[in-house]
Amino acid sequence: MPLPYPALHASHTGIWIARDGEVRAVSRGEAIRAAADTPMIVMNAPLVGQRLGYADLSGLDLLELYAFLRPARFMVPTPKGLATVTGLDLPADDAGVAPFLLAAAERLLATPDADWPEREGAWTAAQSLFRLRWSWAPLLVDRLKKPAQNERWLFSKLPEWDEAAPRPAPRTITLDPAETQAQLAHLVGDAAEARPGQRAYAAAAADAFAPRTGREMPNLVLAEAGTGIGKTLGYLAPASLWSHAAGGPVWVSTYTKALQRQLGHETRRVYPDEAVRREKVVTRKGRENYLCLLNLEDALQGGFAGRAAVLAQLVARWAAYTADGDMVGGDLPGWLPTLFRRNGSTALTDRRGECVYAGCPHYRKCFIERAARASAEADIVIANHALVMVNAARGRELATRPTRYVFDEGHHLFDAADSMFATALTGQETIELRRWIVGPEAGSRGRRRGLAARLSDVASYDEGGAQAIADAVRAAQGLASDGWLQRVAEGTPFGPIETLLASVRGLTYARAEGAEDAGYGLETELAEPSPELIEAAAPAAEALDSLYRPLVALGKRLEAVLTDAPDWLDGPARARVEGAIASLGWRAETVAAWLSLIARVGGPASADFVDWLAVDRVEGREFDIGLHRHWLDPTRPFAEIVLKPAHGALVTSATLTAGGTWETAEARVGAPHLLRPPVRFQAESPFDYAARAEVLVVTDVKRGDIPALSNAYGRLIEAAGGGTLGLFTAIRRLRGVHARIADRLARAGLPLMAQHVDPIDTGTLVDIFRDDPHASLLGTDALRDGVDVPGHSLRLVVMEGVPWPKPTVLHAARRLAGGGSAYDDRIVRARMAQAFGRLIRSADDRGVFVLLSAATPSRLLDAFPPGVPIARVPLDEAIARVASRLSSHAALGHEAAPAP
């Protein structure tokens, strides 16, 4: 029986509705009227609604249906991706997509009749979704047979983790160079070609696993390996050997989620057996990435309403089949939360640090705790720079701290450390701390609980602890509270912290450049503060001090409770108290850092820090206000907290020295702060860049001219036949260019996606780009070196201009300390090298790098590999060269696919 609903497809080339075997092209107004009157089958409702100019579009979204029927399975959210998972033929053009959506819906709805591995739990979830009036539910409940026995509740069928004895310290061993080379040969395989650079790289990487010769003197190896060397297997060879022989874990740290996924795939060569690999290799991320089962239970039992409640049910379906519970970059489709406009998705993770650890009824099944315990027993732990630093600085896992690290994407260590070791005394930060301490206040929803509720048993047992909790709750009343931003803007702050923020706002507006432009954030140095700011600082410091003291006191009382070990302190209670001690410790450290920052107001500046005031704004709306402090050199705390306790670390990247010398590279990773100098290694890429790529500097596109910039991007993308990554230094210009060229390119069969325009997460945008060789993608800094698209899908990189660093207060201070204009040049060279690195990812790739800036200084062009042809040409010639170099290559691509 055919489905009783029409299907709607909207692209940049037109809008179509399929109904009763007919397909009609319709106007935007007609499509909106039809969608408002009749439920329609669509694919990615937020994207279709954006293209219609109808933000309230709702209907039967095929992506939601897929998430229900095939949880934890990957799909590119495009017609091509849908054709792949359903086995249907891809329509030849956009006009055929609407009837294709109807056929795809029927094929997906037939899933329950087939051999369906995700059947368990589906009937119960469908009943709940029916009560929530989910659009697909009526069609599903008729097709799902009621099980003979009641289906198990999600929280009863998730497996429990096992507690294990502490792992012994790693043994002291020395790797045999011949064994390292043999392991590399085994991982690479017999059929692979010999790569001398990779063998030399593996030998150099092995030095990081040698026994340490002195306390706080790690064996630090800096290894720059050009694209194509094969550095992943190059360091996995000695890492896996050392871990097996020494009995200790190696933490491989990355900066991007894409590399984390790639590393997980590469470890299959080390551990081919899937069951063994699950034990030996664990991917770790921060707590805020994982599904919190207690938050999910609250959402399923009425904590969420409307569309957020539907999302919770779909996440529950996924939770029953996920490999690790990772909601951000794991096997939860990145596009799923965006379908709900992220309504509720963040509330399903532990973003507020409210975990009660063993006090949680789902503690033994917790995805976060499972990952922590699995990593303690693993040989290879795939983490990220931020998590490594957080764990070293304030982690609960000090007993299992690794002794060996590999920092891949090592050129990002400076930026990661800069974020980790910074201090921000802002309204948003203080209100989060208030909520963590005080708990629910008037009008708040959800399961949030304050300190008193989380530690009620301790309070009833220990009088000193109870008093410390009461003092902390009382002192927290002085922090910013709900509505603070409006009160501060209106000049009616409440309490000492809001008064301080009001003074910060007033002084920032008085002194910051560009205050008249409401679209951008404002900042000014914390120098020569106004009398109002100085006057507000003292009461604020007093309020924070009155909060700091009970937090410290409570931590000590909890430690005393652990020492006394009362009868009620069983294993779970002990774990909960230990977790509370860790949470209190880092929050007390945060308040202490705020006190230190306030002491700077009216006081002397520190040579170690850069301090400033800021009003954060986006598109004319203020969203935060506060004081900020960053280390002038954030690698100092990184070296102290992470590197010095380690026995060995490999820092590696394809662009480690890009933009500077080895001395610069060492300074960017903290090597000068160690007693022992690092080992340096460098291997050039085996790729023939001179033959496979060229760089064109366009000389006749006027800077800041959006129409001219749009014309250049459009013509270049057409000349390349798609496959273009366009990089921008400003979101406003990105949006302006996209608006002018998207329709034109779509009519040529060249889909165009864009960050900050399409309501799709960045990871999914890259997946779509990779999947369609005729697609192009516009983005900002996040895409400059976060995209790994080998092959035909990326053949042209276009930068709108020289990526000069933004002239912030922090940058100005580092520029002054780092050599003035030479410091800027190093940053630009590194950024251009990283962007060029997106272009040639395999020996068969070819491509063109275009810089739309006539004012590009020649001194910066040595950022590109030696021998790459570089020419300054007008736009017409650049287009001809792109077409000449890439047109024959483009002919090898697939036939044009419909726009996503």
Instruction: Quote the DSSP letter at residue 209.
Output: G
Task: Return the closest-CA partner of residue 659 out of 513, 376, 864.
Answer: 864
Q: What is the pLDDT of residues 655-700, one digit of tens each?
A: 999 878 999 999 999 999 999 999 999 999 999 999 999 999 999 9
Token output for 568: 């009620």
| pLDDT exceeds cutoff 80 at 394 | no
> Lowest-pLDDT range, 291-295, 302-306, 567-571?
567-571
Condensed to tens digits (0 to 9), the pLDDT of residues 401-450 reads: 899 999 999 999 999 999 999 999 999 999 999 988 988 775 555 555 77
Q: What is the value of pTM for the model shown?
A: 0.92
Question: What is residue 891's predicted lDDT score, i.e. its pLDDT?
Answer: 43
* Token code pair at residue 711: 């014309």
- In terms of Cβ atoms closer than 10 Å to its own Cβ (0-12, 13-18, 19+), residue 689 is buried
- Token pair belonging to 427: 């309204």
For every residue of 718-785, DSSP letters joined together read HHHTS-EEEE-S-HHHHHHHHHHHHHHHHHTT--EEETTTSSS-HHHHHHHHHH-TT-EEEE-GGGTS
Q: CA-CA distance, 708 to 716, in Å (whole number)?
A: 12
Q: What is the pLDDT of residues 19-56, one digit of tens each?
A: 988 999 999 999 999 999 899 999 999 999 999 999 88
**Residue 151 confidence (pLDDT):** 85
Max CA separation in the chain (angstroms): 82
- Mean pLDDT, range 120-137, rounded to an integer: 94
Among 404, 72, 75, 420, smallest CA distance to 255 is for 420
pLDDT-derived band at 894 (thresholds 50, 70, 90) equals very low
Pairing of the two strands 7-11 and 14-19: antiparallel
Over 50: is that where the pLDDT of 895 sits?
Answer: no
Give CB contacts under 8 A, 24+ apart, made by 433-436.
433/476, 433/479, 433/587, 433/590, 433/591, 434/476, 434/477, 434/479, 434/480, 434/481, 435/352, 436/352, 436/353, 436/354, 436/587
Beta bridge partners of 753: 777
Mean pLDDT of the region 267-289: 92
What does the pLDDT read at residue 793?
A: 85
| pLDDT value of residue 892 | 41
On the question of pLDDT at 342 being above 80, the answer is: no
Q: Cα separation of 69 and 555, whole Å? A: 47
* Amino acid code (one letter) for 740: R
Q: How far is CA 714 from CA 701, 722, 728, 745, 892, in A?
A: 13, 10, 14, 7, 22
φ, ψ for residue 490 (rounded to 5)? -85, -5
What is the residue-averaged pLDDT of the chain?
Answer: 90
pLDDT of residue 786: 66
Q: How far is CA 880 from CA 78, 394, 561, 744, 776, in A?
A: 31, 56, 76, 19, 19
CA–CA gap between residue 711 and residue 701 (Å, rounded): 9
> What is the structure's pLDDT at 393?
85
Q: What is the pLDDT of residue 893?
A: 42
Per-residue pLDDT reduced to its tens digit, 518-529: 567 899 999 999
pLDDT in tens, 444-467: 555 557 788 877 777 777 888 899
Question: Does the pLDDT of residue 351 top 50, yes or no?
Answer: yes
User: Looking at residue 641, what is its pLDDT?
Assistant: 95
Q: Are 291 and 285 in contact (CB under 8 A)?
A: no
Percent of all residues in the chain with a pLDDT value above 70, rounded to a whole number:
95
- Integer CA distances (angstroms), 563 to 557, 560, 577, 676, in order: 10, 5, 11, 40
Sheet with 60-61, side-by-side order of all strands: 22-25, 14-19, 7-11, 41-42, 60-61
Look up residue 749 and give its two tokens.
């069969």
**In terms of residues, how long is the chain?**
900
Q: Is 70 exceeded by the pLDDT of residue 106?
A: yes
pLDDT per residue as tens digits for the range 715-741? 999 999 999 999 998 888 999 999 999
- According to the model, what pLDDT value does residue 819 have? 87
Q: Which amino acid is at 363?
A: Y
**Residue 460 has what pLDDT?**
76
- Most confident listed range (113-117, 205-209, 361-365): 205-209
Q: CA angle 834-837-838, nearest 5°?
A: 105
Amino acid making up residue 641? I
Check residue 379 and report its DSSP letter.
S
Average pLDDT estimate for 256-278: 89
**Res. 582 pLDDT band, cuts 50 70 90:** confident
